[in-house]
Structure 1
């Protein structure tokens, strides 16, 4: 029942039930499970308690419009100094080597140090609700605005989505998932009622995210910033999702506004309207092939040699799609560069590089090819006619 209702694998369902019933599971030689993850849970509680004793952290969250209910829902916390975290671990007799393995602390030339220092913390969970790591946002001017737990046996940021454990039910009910770029975007979107929202962990959407997204088979809406980095990330994600047959599209937030800003400013209806009208993945990718994030053409389409360069890039992209999908959007692609669709259709489904290779190969005709056989038979018939009717050879 749990597997079917919560769309979990058998091991995930067993772990979920065990956690709910306080039952201790025993694992057979599975290093990723043998790790004593109770340290992560304890540190998460420690961070949460820290938050309410740090006025700067609370003031920052309040300035971003985050409510007490959202803080509790997402278990947002605060990591103070490195010494504070290490002292907490020692005072509670936690295995420090295990804490290193789980990415809570690390060891350097000057001894042990905490991974998260003076940062607001966001716990990262698996779909099953198992805590596997953290994301952290600085509030004291550290060079890196955001950091994540390092790669561990449990934590792989390229395959995880922040907030998925909380959004899962809403995703299945609405058959739609909203993917954003930041933790605060997710928190604020949930706060405004968009409870099917998640975020990548400071990385672009990757092929490792696809299995998780395929579980729900939901429509995917990408909500990304309109700066160069956001547009590039949206472009790569659009290609990935289009190639994997996902339905959905892209919403680009302009003027340095992100979803969290819309919610904070009370522009929820405007945000909802934007999310209801995304641009199809293929159309967005084609747009970005032709124009940069400022809307400028990457090539001069009034010059044939430049237009040919764009055509090659368009053909190479379309060739990676299913034939029906590529056929559907070739007219759109042709319109972008003021070209007749027939010139795209000639290479539809075959990349330009492949086409050039095949052209070279096809220049050589085998002696026994049907075309050559036709020529040979014709020559034989002519010779036969001359021999049979020598008086007509002037023909």
Structure 2
């Protein structure tokens, strides 16, 4: 749970104009700011932002509130999710009343470090690049979807050691596993696909072999942070298009999503090696799918 005092501190530090500008263009007009209202089919700037009161109001559809309400309505987030999103935008470190979320925060830090490493390794592996290019995926899509390459286990272990990452935390994050012989990487000789939650938090990876390994795809191990039954690959990139079209394309694989986005179907997502379940419904309802 987020500490209420931390929430108040965040609210006192943010500027509603800066927050709204992260989503839509804002123009200063006199003592206030104006923008096109994103909550109805607005042709002329109907939304006014009062910087002194830290509130917004649409004179057409009557939408209004503070920065948190704006992010909640725009991104279809719960109150805690919106607080975390604003904290992320503002580079603000929230405090929590128990150790559950800080552990997730530490996992996020580890996952981001590893993702950056995998991405830096991608173009060094000619076979991986050749395979992806053979599927019609260009450099722009490789960058957009942050494709990477996980080499041998030793390279991942070496990275964790160089970054002084605790082995237990690395196991909790799903980057490595442990057996009677010791710790080894979860992804070995695979193209990596980072997987984000609907709040744009990096929560895990999918990995595809380009050899004859019997397991074509592997995912991060199931955990409180990485729950395949509640995640959709590419949703963080497709979300805006889903909201605009009130439609979603659900595919079976990561590469299907990337190729569809390249073809202009930017509302495409994929299930993670499982069928669509009732656990996905809360996520689908956010887009008001028709």
2:95 matches 1:26: yes
2:83 matches 1:14: yes
Choose 1 or 2 for highest CA Rg. 1
Q: Taking structure 1 as reference, are residues 204 and 33 closer, same or farther at Cα in structure 2, changes over 3 Å only?
A: farther
Matching of residues 57-96 of structure 1 within 5 Å: 57-96=128-167
Residue 30 of structure 1, CA deviation: 4.9
Runs of 4+ in 1 over 2 A off after TM superposition: 32-35
Q: Distance in 2 between matches of 1:94 and 1:73?
A: 27
2:234 matches 1:163: yes
Residue 101 of structure 1, CA deviation: 0.5
Residue in structure 1 matched with residue 176 of structure 2 by the alignment = 105
Which secondary structure does the structure 2 equivalent of 1:120 belong to? Answer: strand
Q: Distance in 2 between matches of 1:79 and 1:18?
A: 31
Residue in structure 1 matched with residue 271 of structure 2 by the alignment = 200
Unaligned runs of 5+ in 2: 1-69
Aligned length: 219
Q: Distance in 1 between matches of 2:139 and 2:80?
A: 34
Higher-strand-fraction structure:
2
Which secondary structure does the structure 1 equivalent of 2:94 belong to? Answer: coil
Matching of residues 42-53 of structure 1 within 5 Å: 42-53=113-124
Give the conservation status (yes or no) of the 8 Å contact 1:32–1:153: no
Q: Distance in 2 between matches of 1:52 and 1:11?
A: 38
TM-score, structure 2 as length reference: 0.74
**CA root-mean-square deviation:** 1.1
TM-score, structure 1 as length reference: 0.54
Q: Distance in 2 between matches of 1:64 and 1:82?
A: 27
Residue in structure 2 matched with residue 2 of structure 1 by the alignment = 71
Residue 21 of structure 1, CA deviation: 2.2
Residue in structure 1 matched with residue 21 of structure 2 by the alignment = none
Give the conservation status (yes or no) of the 8 Å contact 1:74–1:187: yes
In the TM superposition, what whole-angstrom CA distance separates every residue of 1:165-185 from its partner, at most 9, and x where no partner exists? 100000010110000000000
Q: Which has the higher contact order (CA 8 A, sep 6+)?
A: 2
Q: Distance in 1 between matches of 2:228 and 2:101?
A: 15
In the TM superposition, what whole-angstrom CA distance separates every residue of 1:322-363 from its partner, at most 9, and x where no partner exists? xxxxxxxxxxxxxxxxxxxxxxxxxxxxxxxxxxxxxxxxxx
Q: Distance in 2 between matches of 1:192 and 1:33?
A: 39
Residue in structure 1 matched with residue 259 of structure 2 by the alignment = 188
Unaligned runs of 5+ in 1: 220-395
